Amino acid sequence: MGKDVTVAVGLGERAYDILIGPGLIARAGAEISSRLPGIRTAIITDENVAPFHLEALKAGFEAAGIASSVVILPAGEKTKSFAALQEVVDAILAARLERGDAVIALGGGVIGDLAGFAAGIVRRGMSLIQMPTSLLAQVDSSVGGKTGINSARGKNLIGVFHQPKLVLADTAVLDTLPAREFRAGYAEIAKYGLIDQPDFFAWLEKNWQEVFSGGAARIEAIAQSCRAKADVVARDEFETSDRALLNLGHTFGHALEAAVAYDGARLVHGEGVAIGMALAHRFSVRMNLASPDDAERVEAHLKAVGLPWRMADIPGKLPDADALLAFITQDKKVSRGALTFILTQGVGQSFVARDVPPSQVLAFLKENHPG
């Protein structure tokens, strides 16, 4: 086997490993058959990923004696839909897979969330193996068991928690990722620094070019992100308390994604998170929690790496502030009608703020709306 970095997600009987390293798609058959002997699989992937990686995965499966059927879906956020879910569920049932067989999610966050949801509900829960092919999926969405689809009323509003049995993150695939997609995934890496690791954020400010160009710094950033996420998930699997910290930037970001009707030409998830993180820092300044220097530092880093950082960076017209607030009030962190945000006292000092007054949010959205 290769020299992979292994990060353990300590969840008792649902514990699993994240393997991070080059060549894991070709080696997946061997890795899976040694851990889950006799398993059969349905590979769920998309039209962008399949031409690059499906053959290598299938060849490795064949060599390891793993039977597989394949579903190839259109790429993009609009695939996180009931229609696509139905297609995946039908294909799994048509292949007569059993509960102990596995759904393989080969793709980015969209495929991971959708295939994970299907695995969570077919036969009340099948095995799931995440094989993330985007940076965002490798550092975030493939880990932790959040699965689901979108609604026109809001992002990820329909789903279940369903942990994978294994995550195989093949870092070599990142070399062929479009630059915009790589940057979008980088937003989630920066997020871990901004949550509670100021040293990691400072390291990223210094080393982001190396992370973008590949090599040891990239693997280190991915591994550090997975460790940070595994830690939080092990403490609070079902987001009853501080797992919500992982949502930094997502309250604003998800509202913006819904506001553009999940149109990836205008805004992809990681870009929404980047803008959302900048807004969360600015909002914290407005609430007298953080200093303007902190917000400026975050904005400067997002700008340096080429990420959008304000609503004005989204092409086209946005719905007004009231409509954005309406999306925010559908957020899953809302409790008894009260809004929850992840706010900050400075870089790496985020906290969960409950009962944030909607009037303050609305005023802030109006001040920052590009019109």
Ligand X SMILES: O=C(O)C(=O)C[C@@H](O)[C@H](O)[C@H](O)COP(=O)(O)O
List the one residue from 146, 162, 282, 301 that touches ligand X (CB under 6 A): 146
What gap in Å lies between CA 203 and CA 197, rounded to an integer?
Answer: 10
Q: Which of 31, 77, 188, 299 is catalytic?
A: 188
Closest CA to 195 of 230, 223, 232: 232
Stretch touching ligand X by CB under 6 A, among 42-50, 194-202, 241-249, 282-290: 241-249
Candidates 52-60, 68-76, 238-246, 359-367: pick the segment binding ligand X (CB under 6 A): 238-246
Catalytic residue among 243, 281, 282, 332: 243
Stretch that binds ligand X, among 43-51, 91-99, 137-145, 309-317 (CB under 6 A): 137-145
Applying CB under 6 A, which of residues 183, 243, 281, 282 lies at the interface with ligand X?
A: 243
324 vs 88, 258, 279, 302, 333, CA distance in Å? 32, 9, 13, 22, 16
Among 81, 141, 350, 368, binds ligand X (CB under 6 A): 141
Q: Contact with ligand X (CB under 6 A): which of 79, 133, 156, 340? A: 156
CB of 283 to ligand X, least distance (A): 17
Closest CA to 130 of 118, 275, 263: 118
Q: Which is nearer to ligand X, 68 or 247 (CB)?
A: 247
| 8 A C-beta contact, residue 117 and residue 128 | no
User: To the nearest whole angstrom, how small is the minimum distance from the Cβ of residue 59 to ligand X?
Assistant: 31
Q: Is 368 a catalytic residue?
A: no
Return the SS3 of 225.
helix
Q: Count of residues binding ligand X (CB under 6 A)?
A: 12
Q: Dihedral sign, CA of 22, 23, 29, 30?
A: negative
Could you give the CA distance from residue 7 to residue 130 in angstroms, rounded to a whole number?
Answer: 14
How far is 6 from 83, CA to CA, in rounded Å? Answer: 36
Helix axes 198-213 and 292-305, enclosed angle (nearest 10): 10
Residues 166, 29 contacting (CB under 8 angstroms):
no
Task: Quote the CA–CA distance of 83 and 105 in Å, as a whole number.
Answer: 17
Q: Residues 29, 108, 144, 308: which binds ligand X (CB under 6 A)? A: 144
User: By CB neighbour count within 10 A (0-12 exposed, 13-18 middle, 19+ buried), where does 79 fall?
Assistant: buried
CB-nearer residue toward ligand X: 241 or 345: 241
Nearest approach in angstroms of CB 47 to ligand X is 22
To the query of whether residue 156 is one of the catalytic residues in this protein, the response is no
Q: Is 162 in the site for ligand X (CB under 6 A)?
A: no
Q: What amino acid occupies position 294?
A: D
Residue 68 C-beta: closest distance to ligand X, Å? 26
Which of the residues 269, 282, 301, 332 is marked catalytic?
269
Q: Is 264 in the site for ligand X (CB under 6 A)?
A: no
C-alpha radius of gyration, the chain, whole number: 20
Handedness of CA 101, 222, 197, 287 (dihedral sign): negative
Structure tokens at 214: 């590949």
Q: Is 266 a catalytic residue?
A: no
Helix/strand/coil for 260: coil
Please tell me whether residue 140 binds ligand X under the rule CB under 6 A: yes
Residues flagged as binding site for Zn(2+): 188, 250, 269
Of 61-69, 71-79, 140-148, 298-306, the window that binds ligand X (rule: CB under 6 A) is: 140-148
Nearest residue to ligand X, by Cβ distance, number only: 156
Residue 369 annotated among the catalytic residues of the structure: no
The residue (of 41 and 225) whose beta carbon lies closer to ligand X is 225
CA-wise closest residue to 202 among 349, 348, 351, 350: 348
Residue 246 interacts with ligand X (CB under 6 A): yes or no: yes
Residues that bind ligand X (CB under 6 A): 140-141, 144, 146, 156, 188, 239, 243, 246-247, 250, 332
Q: Which amino acids are annotated catalytic?
A: 124, 146, 188, 229, 239, 243, 247, 250, 254, 269
